[in-house]
A and B are shown apart, each in its own frame.
Chain A
Amino acid sequence: MSFTCESLIPFTPEIILVIAALSVMIIGLFMETSSKKLLGYFSVVALLSSAAIIIVKGVYEVELTGLLAGSLCIDPMSQFFKLTFLLVSLLVVIASIKEFEEHSNQDEYYTLVLLGTIGMMMVASAVDIVTMFIGFELASLSTYVLAGFNKNEPKNIEAAIKYFVIGAVSSTLLLFGLSYMYGLSGGLTNINDLANFFSMNTELLVSPMGIMALVMMTAGFGFKMALVPFHMWAPDVYQGSPSVISALLAAGSKKMAFVAAFRVLLVAIIAMKIEIGILFAILAVVTMTLGNVVAVGQKSIKRMLAYSSVAQAGYIAMVFVVVTPEALTGGILYVMSHAFMKAGAFITVGAVCYVLLKQNSKAQDVDHIDNFAGLGKRSPFLAFSILVFLFALAGIPPTAGFVSKFILFLAVLKAGYLYLVVIAILNSALSLYYYARVVKYMYVLPPASDEKMSVPTPYVIAIVLAMVGVLAIGIVPDPFVNWATSAAEVLFY
C-alpha cells in the first residue's frame, strides 16, 4: 500500500495538533515570557478546531479501517475517546494559562500537552500493537516531563521521578507481553488478525507462554490504569504534580490505558472464550475497596482524589469481568464522565491552591483539607463547583456520575454478577463519606481566613466547561448513551 496524501485526510485532527505543537515550540523560542500566554490561546484554538472536526465528521456512524497500512482505524470508539482526550486537554490548557502565566518555559509546557494529546489520540485509533505502543510512549514521555514541570519544587521532582521509573517499568512489561503475542501468532501485529488467530488457536493462549503474555499485558495496563496492586505510584504522582497536570493524568492518560485495554485485553478475553473473569473480579473488587477505604483517611485533597480515582478504575474494571456490550457501554460512558468529573475536581482544587498561594506565597501543603474550611464563604463559586464534582464522583443524581454508574451497574447485574454489584454499591456508599467530609469542611466549618478569594477567569472558564459536561451527561444522557453503545458495538461485532 503506497503512502499518499489522501490517506492522511482522516487524521486531520491529529495533524492540526502536530502542526500546532511544533509551531508553539518554535515560535516560543523567540518570544518574551510575558507574551508567551498567547501560545496558550493558540493551543486552545488548535484543540478546539481539532475537536470541531471530529464532531462535524460525525461520531456515530464513522467506520474507516485499514488506514495507513492497516495500523489505524476510525470508528465510534476511537472518536469517542479522542473527543474525551481533546476536551480534557482543552480544560487543562485553559486552566494552565493562568497557572503558568509567569513560567519562562510555558512554550514547552503547551508543546508537551499537545504532544501528549496526540499520543493519546493515536492509542484510541490504533489497531496495531506496535502503533499502539508508540502512541503510549509518546503520551507517557510527555506526561513524565509535565509531572515535574515546576522543577524548583522538591515534591514535583519526586512525583516525576516516581512516575517515570514506574511508567518505564510498566511500559517494558507491556512490551514484553505484546512481544509474546507477536511471537505466538507467528508475526502478527494487527489486533483484529491477532484476535482471529487466537480464537482459532485458543490452546496457544492457555499455554505457559500465552498465560505469561496475558499476565504481563494485564500488569502493564494495570499500572497505567492504576489498578491495585499496581496503583502505588498514582497517589504520590497526583499529589505531587501541578494540579492541572494531575487532571491531565487522571482524566486523560489513565483513560488512554482504558481504551488500549479495551481494544487489546478485552478482545483477547473475548477470543479466549474461557473463564478468567474471576481474576479480573478480584482485581476490580480489591481496587475499588482499597481505593475507597484508603481515601477515607486522607488529609490532602489531591491525594484523596487520587485514591478515589483508583476506586473508580475499580468500577470500570468490572467491564473485564462481565464482557458484554452493555457493560462496555457503561464502562465507556463512565470513562467520559469520570474524565469530566476528575478533571473538573483537580482543576478546581488547583484553582483553590493557586489563589491560596497568591495570598500567601510561603504556604505549605495548600491542598490540605484544613485550607478548604469555610470555602463556601470565601469563594462560593469554587465551593459549589467542588460540591458538584464530588457529588458526581459519589454518584448522586442528576450528574454524569449517577447516570454512568447506573448504566454500568445495571449491565453488570444483567450479566448475573450480583456480588460485584453489591460490593460496588457498598463501595459507592462508603465513598460518599469522604466526599461529604470535604463538603462539610467547605460549608459548615468557619473559614480559615476571612480573605475573599477571587478566581482568575481562565480557571472559571475551565471549571464551568467541566461542570457543563458533568451536568449534560447527567441531565440529557440519551445522545451520550447511544454514542457509547455504538462505540461498544465496535468490539463485539
Chain B
Amino acid sequence: MEIYLSLILFLPLIGAALTFFIKPREIARVVALVFSVIPLFITALLFTRFDSDLGFLQFQFEESITWISSLGINYSLGVDSVSMPLILLNAILCPLTIIYSWGEHKDANQYFALLMILQAGVFGVFMSLDFFLFYIFWELTLIPLYFLISIWGGPNKDYAAIKFFIYTHVASLVMLLGIFALYFSTNVNTFYIPDLLRAFAGVDDVMKAAIFLSIFFGFMVKMPTVPFHTWLPDAHVEAPTAGSVLLAGVLLKMGGYGLFRVLLPMIQDMGTYQGQIITIMAFFGLLSILYGTFAALAQTDLKKMVAYSSVSHMGFVMLGAAAFNVMSVSGAMFQQFSHGLITAVLFMSVGVIQHNVHTRIIAELGGVVKKMPKLTFIMMGGFMASLGLPAMCGFVAEFLVLTGTYLTMHLFAILAFLGIVATAGYHLWALQRAMFGSFNEKLGDIKDTVSYEWIPMGILVLLIIYFGVNPAPVLDIFEAASSVIPGVELI
C-alpha cells in the first residue's frame, strides 16, 4: 500500500505539533515552512505520476484501513481527477501563506500551528473516500479558523468568529443528517462514498430529493451561496490576512469539491425531481453571481469588497455545475482552482495595505501607488485576473462556464453575463479610487511591501498567468473528470 497521501495529510499535523511547542518565532516559522513545503513536493511528485486519463471516481494512490468495522467505516484515502488539482492548490497556497506571514509577532508559534492544522484539514477533505472521515476533516477545519479569527482578528472578532463557527457547524450537521439518510436508504452498510453513490439510484424519489437537498445545504453554506453567505463577509473582515487567504483560497473550495464529488453523480439518478434540482442549483448560482457583484460594488471596505467578489466567483462554480455539460462542469472545476490562486493575491494585497497604511476604507486611501509601486503592480495583476482579463486563468474558467451554460441554459448565461460587466466595474473603480489618482496626504509616510510579502504574491501572479496561457495541465484533468460524470452532456 502506498502511503503518499497519509504523508501529505499527517506531515502538516506533525509540523503543527512541533511548531506549537517551539517558542522562538524565528525557529517556529522555519519548522512550519519546512513541514508545509514537503507536502508540496510529495504532491508535485504525485501530480507527475498521476494518470490523467483515468477520470472521475477512479481513484489512484488509494489507502484503506478498517476503522469501525460494525458500521462499515474505513480510513480510506484516494485521489481522482476531481481532487488532484485541488490538493495541488492547497499544497501551493499553504507554504506561500506561511511565507507571507513571516513577520507575524503575536504568538507566532501558535499562529503557524493553526495554519498547518487548517492545511491538514483541507487535505483530508479532498482525499477522504469515506463519509465519516470526510465529515471529521470537514469539521476539523472549523477549529483552527475559529481561533485564527478570534485571537488574531480585527475589532469585531468575537462576533465574527462565533457566527462563523455556529453557522457553518449547523450547516455541517444538516449535511450529516443527509449522510445518515443516504447511509440508511441505500442499505449498503458502508460509508465508502463511491459505493453509496452507486447505490443511490435504488432510493425512492422523495428520499433522493431530501438527501440531495440536505447535503446540498451543507455545501451551499460552505461555498457560500447567497442567501447563506452572511457569515463570510464578517469572517473575512475580521480574520487575519493568512486566515482570509486560506478561507477564500481553499476552505470555500471544499463546498465546491463536495458538489462535484457527491452531488453531481447523483443528478443522473434523481428521477422525478431532476429538473427542479438543476433549476434550483442554477438559480442559486446566478443569484450569487449577481448579488455578490452588486454587493461588492457597494462596499466601502476593500477587504469586504474582495469577500463579496469571492461570493460572486463561487457562484460561477455553482452555475457551471448546474449547466451539467462537459464544458461548463470542467469550467466550474477550473474556476475553483483559478479562484483559489486569484483570491489569495487579492487578500494578500489588501492585507499589505491594512498593515502598512492602517486602513482599508477605500475613501481614506488614494494615490497609494506613489508610495507603494511594487504592491500596486502585483495587486493590478490580481485585480485584472479577478475581473477576467484574457491570458489569465480567471478568464479561461469563466469563459468555459458561460459558454457551457449558454449551450443548455440560455437565460441564465445571459443574466450571468451582466454580472461580468459589473465585476469589471467594481474592480477598476476600486483600483482607481484607492491606488491611483492624487495622493491622500493624510496617509503620511508609508512603506512599500517587503520581500516576504511580495515574493509569494509574485509567485501566485506568475502561476495565474501560466495557467491562463496554458491551462492544459490542470484543465485536461478536469475535462477527463467531467466527461465521465454520469449523465453529463458531452458537448
- Where the two chains meet, the residues of A that have a C-beta atom closer than 8 Å to any C-beta of B are 391, 396-398, 402-403, 406-407, 409-410, 413-414, 421-422, 425-426, 428-429, 432-433, 436-437, 440, 443-444, 477-478, 481-482, 485
Asked whether, in the complex, the Cβ of B147 is within 8 Å of the Cβ of A429, the reply is no
Asked whether, in the complex, the Cβ of B147 is within 8 Å of the Cβ of A443, the reply is yes
Please report the C-alpha to C-alpha distance between residue A482 and residue B136 in the assembled complex, in whole angstroms.
Answer: 21
15 interchain pairs, CB-CB under 8 A: A396-B142, A397-B139, A402-B139, A409-B180, A413-B184, A422-B177, A425-B174, A426-B170, A429-B173, A432-B166, A440-B161, A443-B151, A477-B68, A478-B68, A481-B70
Q: Closest CB of chain A to B394's CB: distance in Å?
A: 35
Asked whether, in the complex, the Cβ of A391 is within 8 Å of the Cβ of B143, the reply is yes
Please report the C-alpha to C-alpha distance between residue A406 and residue B67 in the assembled complex, in whole angstroms.
Answer: 14
Asked whether, in the complex, the Cβ of B158 is within 8 Å of the Cβ of A444, the reply is yes
Of chain A, the residue at the smallest CB distance from B170 is A429
Q: Closest CB of chain A to B3's CB: distance in Å?
A: 18
Q: A428-B173, A429-B170, A436-B162 are in contact. Are A481 and B71 (CB under 8 A)?
A: yes
Please report the C-alpha to C-alpha distance between residue A413 and residue B136 in the assembled complex, in whole angstroms.
Answer: 20
Q: Considering only CB atoms and an 8 Å cut-off, how many residues of chain B contact the other chain?
A: 33
Q: A444-B151, A478-B66, A481-B71 are in contact. Are A432 and B165 (CB under 8 A)?
A: yes
Q: Closest CB of chain B to A473's CB: distance in Å?
A: 11
Of chain A, the residue at the smallest CB distance from B149 is A444
Q: Closest CB of chain B to A322's CB: distance in Å?
A: 14
Per the 8 Å Cβ criterion, residues 136-167 of B in contact with A are 136, 139-140, 142-143, 146-147, 150-151, 157-158, 161-162, 165-166
Asked whether, in the complex, the Cβ of A397 is within 8 Å of the Cβ of B173, the reply is no
Contacts of A413 in B (CB 8 A): 177, 180-181, 184
Judged by a CB distance under 8 angstroms, whether B183 is at the interface is: yes
Contacts of A414 in B (CB 8 A): 184
Asked whether, in the complex, the Cβ of B177 is within 8 Å of the Cβ of A440, the reply is no
What are the nearest 5 A-B pairs in CB distance?
Answer: A397-B136, A425-B173, A429-B170, A413-B180, A444-B150
Main SS at interface, chain A? helix
9 new A-B contacts, CB < 8 A, other than A410-B183, A481-B68, are A396-B142, A397-B136, A406-B132, A413-B181, A425-B174, A425-B177, A429-B169, A436-B166, A440-B158
Q: Closest CB of chain B to A385's CB: distance in Å?
A: 15
Judged by a CB distance under 8 angstroms, whether B135 is at the interface is: yes
Q: Mark B65-85, 1 if CB is under 8 A from A, else 0.
A: 011111100000000000000
Contacts of B146 in A (CB 8 A): 436
Please report the C-alpha to C-alpha distance between residue A432 and residue B161 in the assembled complex, in whole angstroms.
Answer: 13
Asked whether, in the complex, the Cβ of B166 is within 8 Å of the Cβ of A429, the reply is yes
Judged by a CB distance under 8 angstroms, whether B277 is at the interface is: no
Q: A413-B181, A425-B173, A444-B158 are in contact. Are A433 and B136 (CB under 8 A)?
A: no
Contacts of A406 in B (CB 8 A): 132, 176
Q: Closest CB of chain B to A7's CB: distance in Å?
A: 35
Contacts of A421 in B (CB 8 A): 177, 180
Contacts of A422 in B (CB 8 A): 177
Q: Closest CB of chain A to B218's CB: distance in Å?
A: 12
Of chain A, the residue at the smallest CB distance from B142 is A396
Please report the C-alpha to C-alpha distance between residue A55 and residue B142 in the assembled complex, in whole angstroms.
Answer: 37
Please report the C-alpha to C-alpha distance between residue A482 and residue B170 in the assembled complex, in whole angstroms.
Answer: 30
Contacts of B71 in A (CB 8 A): 407, 410, 481
Please report the C-alpha to C-alpha distance between residue A398 and residue B181 in the assembled complex, in whole angstroms.
Answer: 22
Asked whether, in the complex, the Cβ of B166 is within 8 Å of the Cβ of A433, the reply is yes
Please report the C-alpha to C-alpha distance between residue A244 and residue B271 in the assembled complex, in whole angstroms.
Answer: 58
Asked whether, in the complex, the Cβ of A432 is within 8 Å of the Cβ of B169, the reply is yes
Q: Closest CB of chain A to B72's CB: distance in Å?
A: 11
Please report the C-alpha to C-alpha distance between residue A55 and residue B348 in the assembled complex, in whole angstroms.
Answer: 56
Please report the C-alpha to C-alpha distance between residue A481 and residue B68 in the assembled complex, in whole angstroms.
Answer: 7
Please report the C-alpha to C-alpha distance between residue A421 and residue B174 in the assembled complex, in whole angstroms.
Answer: 10
Asked whether, in the complex, the Cβ of A478 is within 8 Å of the Cβ of B69, the reply is yes
Please report the C-alpha to C-alpha distance between residue A413 and residue B184 in the assembled complex, in whole angstroms.
Answer: 8
Please report the C-alpha to C-alpha distance between residue A482 and residue B174 in the assembled complex, in whole angstroms.
Answer: 28
Asked whether, in the complex, the Cβ of A396 is within 8 Å of the Cβ of B158, the reply is no
Q: Closest CB of chain A to B221's CB: distance in Å?
A: 13
Please report the C-alpha to C-alpha distance between residue A407 and residue B68 in the assembled complex, in whole angstroms.
Answer: 10
Contact of A482 among B69, B161, B162 (CB under 8 A): B69
Contacts of B67 in A (CB 8 A): 477-478
Q: Mark B168-204, 1 if CB is under 8 A from A, else 0.
A: 0110011011001101100000000000000000000
Q: Closest CB of chain B to A328's CB: distance in Å?
A: 13
Asked whether, in the complex, the Cβ of A398 is within 8 Å of the Cβ of B140, the reply is yes
Q: A406-B132, A413-B180 are in contact. Are A443 and B150 (CB under 8 A)?
A: yes
Contacts of B180 in A (CB 8 A): 409-410, 413, 421
Of chain B, the residue at the smallest CB distance from A433 is B166
Asked whether, in the complex, the Cβ of B70 is within 8 Å of the Cβ of A485, the reply is yes
Which of B142, B157, B174, B180 is packed against the most chain A CB atoms within 10 Å?
B180
Contacts of B68 in A (CB 8 A): 403, 477-478, 481
Contacts of B142 in A (CB 8 A): 396
Please report the C-alpha to C-alpha distance between residue A422 and residue B174 in the assembled complex, in whole angstroms.
Answer: 8
Of chain B, the residue at the smallest CB distance from A410 is B180
Contacts of B69 in A (CB 8 A): 478, 482
Please report the C-alpha to C-alpha distance between residue A397 and residue B170 in the assembled complex, in whole angstroms.
Answer: 14
Q: Closest CB of chain B to A337's CB: distance in Å?
A: 14
Please report the C-alpha to C-alpha distance between residue A397 and residue B137 in the assembled complex, in whole angstroms.
Answer: 8
Q: A425-B176, A425-B177, A444-B150 are in contact. Are A397 and B169 (CB under 8 A)?
A: no
Asked whether, in the complex, the Cβ of A436 is within 8 Å of the Cβ of B70, the reply is no
Which of A391, A396, A428, A485 is packed against the most chain B CB atoms within 10 Å?
A396
Contacts of B166 in A (CB 8 A): 429, 432-433, 436
Contacts of A403 in B (CB 8 A): 68
Q: Closest CB of chain A to B37's CB: distance in Å?
A: 26
Contacts of A482 in B (CB 8 A): 69-70
Of chain B, the residue at the smallest CB distance from A384 is B20
Q: Closest CB of chain A to B432's CB: distance in Å?
A: 38
Asked whether, in the complex, the Cβ of B70 is within 8 Å of the Cβ of A396, the reply is no
Contacts of B162 in A (CB 8 A): 433, 436-437, 440
Please report the C-alpha to C-alpha distance between residue A110 and residue B40 in the assembled complex, in whole angstroms.
Answer: 56
Q: Closest CB of chain B to A394's CB: distance in Å?
A: 9
Please report the C-alpha to C-alpha distance between residue A406 and residue B134 in the assembled complex, in whole angstroms.
Answer: 13
Please report the C-alpha to C-alpha distance between residue A391 and residue B143 in the assembled complex, in whole angstroms.
Answer: 10
Q: Mark B51-95, 1 if CB is under 8 A from A, else 0.
A: 000000000000000111111000000000000000000000000
Please report the C-alpha to C-alpha distance between residue A398 and residue B128 in the assembled complex, in whole angstroms.
Answer: 15
Please report the C-alpha to C-alpha distance between residue A422 and residue B178 in the assembled complex, in whole angstroms.
Answer: 11
Please report the C-alpha to C-alpha distance between residue A422 and residue B177 in the assembled complex, in whole angstroms.
Answer: 8
Contacts of A477 in B (CB 8 A): 67-68
Please report the C-alpha to C-alpha distance between residue A436 and residue B158 in the assembled complex, in whole angstroms.
Answer: 11
Q: Closest CB of chain B to A75's CB: distance in Å?
A: 19
Contact of B136 among A402, A409, A429 (CB under 8 A): A402
Please report the C-alpha to C-alpha distance between residue A433 and residue B167 in the assembled complex, in whole angstroms.
Answer: 11
Contacts of B181 in A (CB 8 A): 413
Contact of B150 among A432, A440, A478, A485 (CB under 8 A): A440
Which of B151, B161, B169 is packed against the most chain A CB atoms within 10 Å?
B169
Q: A444-B151, A477-B68 are in contact. Are A436 and B135 (CB under 8 A)?
A: no
Q: Closest CB of chain A to B138's CB: distance in Å?
A: 9
Please report the C-alpha to C-alpha distance between residue A409 and residue B71 in the assembled complex, in whole angstroms.
Answer: 13
Of chain A, the residue at the smallest CB distance from B69 is A478
Q: Closest CB of chain A to B236's CB: distance in Å?
A: 18
Please report the C-alpha to C-alpha distance between residue A413 and residue B176 in the assembled complex, in whole angstroms.
Answer: 11
Please report the C-alpha to C-alpha distance between residue A409 and residue B177 in the assembled complex, in whole angstroms.
Answer: 9
Of chain B, the residue at the smallest CB distance from A485 is B70
Q: Closest CB of chain A to B19's CB: distance in Å?
A: 14
Contact of A396 among B139, B174, B183 (CB under 8 A): B139
Asked whether, in the complex, the Cβ of B177 is within 8 Å of the Cβ of A397, the reply is no
Asked whether, in the complex, the Cβ of B184 is within 8 Å of the Cβ of A436, the reply is no
Please report the C-alpha to C-alpha distance between residue A485 and residue B70 in the assembled complex, in whole angstroms.
Answer: 9
Please report the C-alpha to C-alpha distance between residue A481 and residue B71 in the assembled complex, in whole angstroms.
Answer: 9
Per the 8 Å Cβ criterion, residues 406-460 of B in contact with A are none
Q: Closest CB of chain A to B147's CB: distance in Å?
A: 7
Please report the C-alpha to C-alpha distance between residue A440 and residue B160 in the assembled complex, in whole angstroms.
Answer: 12
Please report the C-alpha to C-alpha distance between residue A425 and residue B135 in the assembled complex, in whole angstroms.
Answer: 15
Contacts of B170 in A (CB 8 A): 426, 429
Please report the C-alpha to C-alpha distance between residue A410 and residue B191 in the assembled complex, in whole angstroms.
Answer: 12
